[in-house]
Structure 1
Amino acid sequence: MDNFTKEIENIKINTETAIDQFLAFAQKNNAAVAIYRLPNDSRLQIICDLEGGSIVEDFNLDDLSTGFLLHPFQEGEKSIVHFNAEILAEINIQSNHKNHSKSEIKWNNTPDESLVKEIFENSEKFNFSLLQHNGISDSISSEGYISMVENAIKEIKNNTFYKVVPAKTKNIEYNNSIDLGKAFLKAAHKYPNAFVSLTFSENTGLWFGASPETLIEEKKGDYFKTMALAGTQAIEDKSIAETTWTQKEIEEQAYVSRYIINCFKKIRLRDFDELGPKTVQAGNLLHLKTTFKVDTKSVHFPELGSVMLKLLHPTSAVCGMPKDTSLKFILEKEKHDRAYFSGFLGPIHLNEMSHLFVNLRCCQIDNEKVTFYAGAGITEDSKPEKEWHETEMKCKVLSAVVFGK
């Protein structure tokens, strides 16, 4: 082992500072970076593509190299982008929220000496003023969203679809900059069961999120996993086991589970385990979750992850049922571009594991404002005002982290 390798293996740095330095490095060098923490993990992980990421068309998950994938809600609104893992690093963040102690960076590949020096010796900060304007000018008003929900309920009663998930945007202006390193670690501590991510590239812009929903989890040649997550209520001063759900919320969750089972039926897959529904906590919110798992080795279906990814997205949890008619309603009635909200993202083929999450509880940061996105599942029994308040609760999950509100 040469002296440089020994030296970089012993680098210790404040984690908040490291996050900011990787972002500044990516911006200065037109690189792409994904900083993330998997659910119930103590490691912050970093993937950096020095070429800025690649736009992918009609991709097959199995054909992509180790890296990070961002997929929009609708192809054509934004590009599907893959970050190749040219730099791979991780930091243990188990106790970082309590103090400002320095942590050791573990490199999963050995980067060039000049790159390491540029990342950690660069005094420049991430320049928020250079971010592109995201084109979303106004927040969706309560009147506008409630009207959209009322239209959705009418279409459901006319048998156009059974469920639809209209979304809204909420803009909050900011001055100068946001402490992204601090916000990331706060989200990681506050939402241990969520996939916390911070991604930046010229193609995708700057996105931050804490998603509670797995789209697929796959260990190559071993197993495939997905989940149905729906129904939302604020946590109360009682145990999760005592939580009660309305018929509307139970029905909404059942639609998402049925959608997944129908995807299995399309490929004639009958051998799967179903666990749930059960009540789970995501920050200060509760949801109903059902987990589906397949032993890909025993069913002789090694490509199941790639096949199911194309069938699942967009799931009924972010779109509706049936998919075609609910999607048509969304594209006609929503006045904003969802971009990467309700798409999916995550690391792929890292140590033979792929983790892709529905991009929920997320926001996009431009040079003037932070745009928060949230949707609500609408069924025939929905109450428009209640659905508006649900989207407000969902936006607060992340805005409270970013702005401390």
Structure 2
Amino acid sequence: MCKSYYYGSSQEIVLEKSTKEINQQLTAEAHLNKFLGFAQTNSAALAVYRLPNESKLKILCDLSGGKYIQELNLEDLSSGFLMHPFRTGLNKIVHFEAEVLGEILLTPNDNDTTAEISLDWLRSPSEQIEAKIEEASEFDFSILAKNDNLRSTFSSEYIQMVEEGIQSIKREEFYKVVPSKIKHIESDNNVNLGQAFINACYKYPNAFVNLTFSAKTGLWLGASPETLIEDKKGEYFKTMALAGTQRKSEKSIAETTWTQKEIEEQAYVSRYIINCFKKIRLRDFDEIGPKTVEAGNLLHLKTTFKVHTESANFPELGSVMLKLLHPTSAVCGMPKESALEFISKKEKHDRSYFSGFMGPVHLSGLSHLFVNLRCCQINNQTVTFYAGAGITEDSKAEKEWEETEMKCKVLSDVIFGI
């Protein structure tokens, strides 16, 4: 029996890593589908995720189903997984306790569904729970909610919203706004969730790929390219500005060119982060970028900001910055308050957890939260995709509609195996 050490916000948590593996080797997708079936039938909360540029899939399970958080204070949370909606109210902040932890190592050949993979327990469940996971039946989509009254956003609706946003910008009500839309696709409930997750891992090597389920939050799958915060206890704090979107071409990333509109959009996000630092009188930080990064078939502009927390002597920096940053300029607009008011009046759908944030907290001393982009919610006989586009004075409404269609298609191809 060997031990791995994970650090929570207040005390050291020792996780026992069992040398015992599940007796029957399964494919990675089969492991994931068994965990989903187990979580559903046992009212547990489940988070499966793969951090950017890593080869390990993490599986985290809260046997009690997760708990609601009234007010987020990152430093007070125990090790687990956090889901935060775009706006609190109808949708709640939910924390999954890390009661069961496991990991699966993916190699370049593991996208072959016949490959046998072993699940390694990081925090071993009881033999009774382990047996229930092994014997779990398939996930039952019919038990999920059925959104009969939900429909896709019409192109005419979105284009009008963009045009109204441009007019508001010209009146100097705000400088940028990010209207979103939904694309509602009917499904016959035969989505292979485990395989869709594996597909997303290979499609989005630089993204935070996630699959979450609980009775409190529903069933979500996504691949976010955007870090909200990365907080390594006693070492560093990171955040990023990500904006501008174009389709990946045959050119190398180094040869990518950007329009003035896209450069300006990215600069707004960077300035917003710098202004947040100014509010808390934090002046010592590293600014890296902007540079072009890849996310699936799309390219974005990214600037990374890093603070060395030991020298800054600011132990609550993670919580303070979360309150200042969310919702970011990349998903809401700038100034935040007036852009948020526009979104609240014009959007006809509930964003729910789209453009909120999620991720592991206090695992290996690290809290890594991502803006919930490139995501969908899966319900009974439907999959709802969410997408938005940053609007500035130079935006063209039809082009912004095309950008949201492109974002939805990249993920829908993964979900439906196209």
Same fold (TM over 0.5): yes
Pair 1:47-2:93 in alignment: no
Q: What is the aligned counterpart of 2:323 among 282, 305, 310?
A: 310
Asked if the contact 2:81/2:358 (under 8 Å) is kept, the reply is yes
SS in 2 for 1:346: strand
- Tell me the residue number matched to 2:7: none
AA partner of residue 352 (structure 1)? G
TM-score by length of 2: 0.94
- Tell me the residue number matched to 2:124: 110
Distance 1:131 1:365, change over 3 A: same
SS in 2 for 1:298: helix
- Tell me the residue number matched to 1:205: 218
Between the aligned partners of 1:386 and 1:136, the Cα distance in structure 2 is 28
SS in 1 for 2:131: helix
Give, in angstroms, the shift of residue 368 of structure 1: 2.0
Pair 1:13-2:19 in alignment: no
Distance 1:164 1:87, change over 3 A: same
Pair 1:354-2:367 in alignment: yes
Q: What is the aligned counterpart of 1:285 among 292, 298, 308?
A: 298
- Tell me the residue number matched to 1:68: 81
- Tell me the residue number matched to 1:178: 191
Cα RMSD after superposing both structures: 1.5
Between the aligned partners of 1:134 and 1:31, the Cα distance in structure 2 is 23
AA partner of residue 126 (structure 1)? F
Distance 1:8 1:99, change over 3 A: closer
Give, in angstroms, the shift of residue 276 of structure 1: 0.6
Asked if the contact 1:77/1:337 (under 8 Å) is kept, the reply is no
Asked if the contact 1:346/1:356 (under 8 Å) is kept, the reply is yes
Give, in angstroms, the shift of residue 12 of structure 1: 2.9
Asked if the contact 1:11/1:105 (under 8 Å) is kept, the reply is no
Pair 1:128-2:133 in alignment: no
- Tell me the residue number matched to 2:114: 100
- Tell me the residue number matched to 1:218: 231
Residues 123-171 of structure 1, C-alpha deviation per residue, up to 9 Å, x if partnerless? x210000001357611001111000000000100111100000000001
Pair 1:157-2:199 in alignment: no
SS in 2 for 1:132: coil
Asked if the contact 1:47/1:86 (under 8 Å) is kept, the reply is yes
Q: Identity over aligned residues, as a percent?
A: 65
Correspondences of 1:198-347 after superposition (within 5 Å) = 198-347=211-360
Alignment coverage as a number of residue pairs: 403
Residues 216-255 of structure 1, C-alpha deviation per residue, up to 9 Å, x if partnerless? 1111010000000000000111111111111100000000
Q: Which runs of 4+ in 1 moved over 6 A?
A: none
Residues 191-210 of structure 1, C-alpha deviation per residue, up to 9 Å, x if partnerless? 10010000000010000000
Between the aligned partners of 2:36 and 2:145, the Cα distance in structure 1 is 15
Distance 1:136 1:75, change over 3 A: farther
Pair 1:146-2:154 in alignment: no
Correspondences of 1:362-381 after superposition (within 5 Å) = 362-381=375-394
Give, in angstroms, the shift of residue 329 of structure 1: 0.3
Asked if the contact 2:177/2:390 (under 8 Å) is kept, the reply is yes
Asked if the contact 1:136/1:336 (under 8 Å) is kept, the reply is no
AA partner of residue 109 (structure 1)? R
Between the aligned partners of 2:257 and 2:149, the Cα distance in structure 1 is 37
Between the aligned partners of 2:313 and 2:154, the Cα distance in structure 1 is 50
Between the aligned partners of 1:136 and 1:267, the Cα distance in structure 2 is 45
Between the aligned partners of 1:349 and 1:171, the Cα distance in structure 2 is 35
Between the aligned partners of 2:353 and 2:148, the Cα distance in structure 1 is 14
AA partner of residue 70 (structure 1)? M
Between the aligned partners of 1:136 and 1:345, the Cα distance in structure 2 is 27
Pair 1:31-2:44 in alignment: yes
Asked if the contact 1:47/1:89 (under 8 Å) is kept, the reply is yes
Asked if the contact 2:176/2:392 (under 8 Å) is kept, the reply is yes
SS in 1 for 2:311: coil
Residues 1-33 of structure 1, C-alpha deviation per residue, up to 9 Å, x if partnerless? 6xx955437663211111100000000011000
Distance 1:112 1:327, change over 3 A: same
TM-score by length of 1: 0.97
